[in-house]
Amino acid sequence: MQYESRTIRVLLIDDDRDDFLITKSIFDSLPADHYTLDWVGGYDAGLKAISEGTHDLYLLDYRLEARTGIDLLIEAKAYNPSAAVILLTGQGQYEIDRKATQAGAADYLEKDRLDAVLLERSIRHALLQKDFETGLKEKVRERTEELEQLNAVLRREIAVRKQAENALREADQRKDEFLATLAHELRNPLAPIRNSLLLMQLKAHEPETVARSRDTMNRQVIQMVRLIDDLLDVSRISQGKLRLMPEKMRLSELIETALEISGPQIAEAKLELIQKHESTNIELVVDKVRMAQVLSNLLNNAAKYSELGGTIRLESKRIGGELAISIIDSGMGIAPESLPRIFELFTQVDRSVGRIQGGLGIGLAIVAHIVQLHGGRVTAHSEGLGRGATFTVILPLEAGQQG
């Protein structure tokens, strides 16, 4: 028991001084270094003492002026539920004993039968009971905290699992949508090719018809080759087999190569291309084919999502030790909720022009991966639908080019 090694402080709450003197005489017969006895004579003072926990144990008289010790005990327990209290009364009554126990008293003693042995035994019993209840409450508190922590972990695990399930469900849905889109996109060129072949057979004697049919077939085959190339790139990315062949080249050469690829689509859409470069003589160490693929994909995207007669801006500038290349269009824009997922595989932004133009939803993911392999990053920004979009490729510069 925690009280064995120190003096136990006892407070008598009794409005009769003679009772205090009698009780003190009993305490005087107990070992002096084991107990101290203090006394207060009023209800309010007793209530304050128990509520504040001023002593280890309280001897509480049943009669306190116009009220009872049970009234005081009930009121005090609301503030100090662990207080060790022994109720004292002038006569033994079962009903008072029962009420005292219900109110939280540890024991009930009759004054006219009180002696040192009975009092000390009752005090020890009350303090043991207090220790037990305190220990039990502490264990309950500790166990409750453990359960709360386990519940928190469980809730987190459930949340993570639900998130993973949702992600898998979404990925599965996107995969199904992608396969449907793939079948559609690969099938689309077949009808023009088949029609062109038929025309060439029927109109073999008309050179102009044959030439137009041949041009149509050529465009459709190029489109199919682009789709298949993108699929092969996705396969290489998934297997970690996409490799770079870096070489030193000027920015002007990179831009020229990208525009050779994207120029026809920009021209077909009757878009104005505006260029603004801090310097096109900046040297880069990049894979020429792959980085041209990045810029041409972004330029093609800008053309695809822009209305006829719109503008595309191609800008570049140094920012510290990096080069930022931006493609800014005046087209359909991107909804805010789509921006966080725009570089994920099989993600198509729901823009009406884009839906009409088609696409597998893998181009931007390929762009992001190629840029990352170069040690750079790519960002997308849009003020919302109908307000255009900006894609910025940021590449590291060599030490000599960082000034």
Answer with the residue of higher pLDDT: 256 or 189: 256
What is the predicted pLDDT for the residue at 403?
A: 46
Ranges 145-159, 176-190, 388-402, most confident: 145-159
What is the predicted pLDDT for the residue at 189?
A: 76
> In whole angstroms, what is the distance from residue 28 CA to residue 33 CA?
11
What is the predicted pLDDT for the residue at 318?
A: 93
**Average of pLDDT values for 173-177?**
73
**Average of pLDDT values for 149-154?**
92
> In whole angstroms, what is the distance from residue 395 CA to residue 392 CA?
10
Residues above pLDDT 90, as percent of the chain: 32
List of long-range contacts for 33-37, beta carbons under 8 Å, 24+ apart: 33/7, 34/7, 34/8, 35/7, 35/8, 35/10, 35/123, 36/7, 36/8, 36/9, 36/10, 37/10, 37/11, 37/12
- For residue range 67-126, list pLDDT tens digits in order: 888 999 899 888 888 889 998 887 667 778 788 888 888 888 888 888 888 988 998 898
> In whole angstroms, what is the distance from residue 380 CA to residue 390 CA?
6
Residue 354 confidence class, pLDDT cut points 50, 70, 90: very low
What is the predicted pLDDT for the residue at 234?
A: 77
Q: Give the pairing of strands 67-68 and 107-110.
A: unpaired
What is the predicted pLDDT for the residue at 352?
A: 42
Cβ neighbours, 10 Å, residue 315: 16
Q: Answer whether 73's CB lies under 8 Å from 44's CB.
A: no
The answer, yes or no, to whether residue 345 has pLDDT greater than 80, is no
> In whole angstroms, what is the distance from residue 174 CA to residue 350 CA?
13
Question: Worst-scoring range by mean pLDDT, 4-8, 79-83, 277-281?
Answer: 4-8
> In whole angstroms, what is the distance from residue 60 CA to residue 286 CA?
90
Question: Worst-scoring range by mean pLDDT, 200-204, 211-215, 350-354, 373-377?
Answer: 350-354
Burial label for 128, CB within 10 Å (0-12, 13-18, 19+), is middle
**Average of pLDDT values for 7-19?**
90
β-pair partners for 37? 10
The answer, yes or no, to whether residue 252 has pLDDT greater than 90, is yes
The answer, yes or no, to whether residue 137 has pLDDT greater than 90, is no
The answer, yes or no, to whether residue 161 has pLDDT greater than 80, is yes
Q: Is the pTM of this model over 0.85?
A: no
What is the predicted pLDDT for the residue at 339?
A: 86
Residue 400 confidence class, pLDDT cut points 50, 70, 90: very low
- For residue range 309-322, list pLDDT tens digits in order: 889 999 999 998 99
What is the predicted pLDDT for the residue at 274?
A: 94
What is the predicted pLDDT for the residue at 158?
A: 93
The answer, yes or no, to whether residue 21 has pLDDT greater than 60, is yes
> In whole angstroms, what is the distance from residue 271 CA to residue 282 CA?
27
**Average of pLDDT values for 173-193?**
73
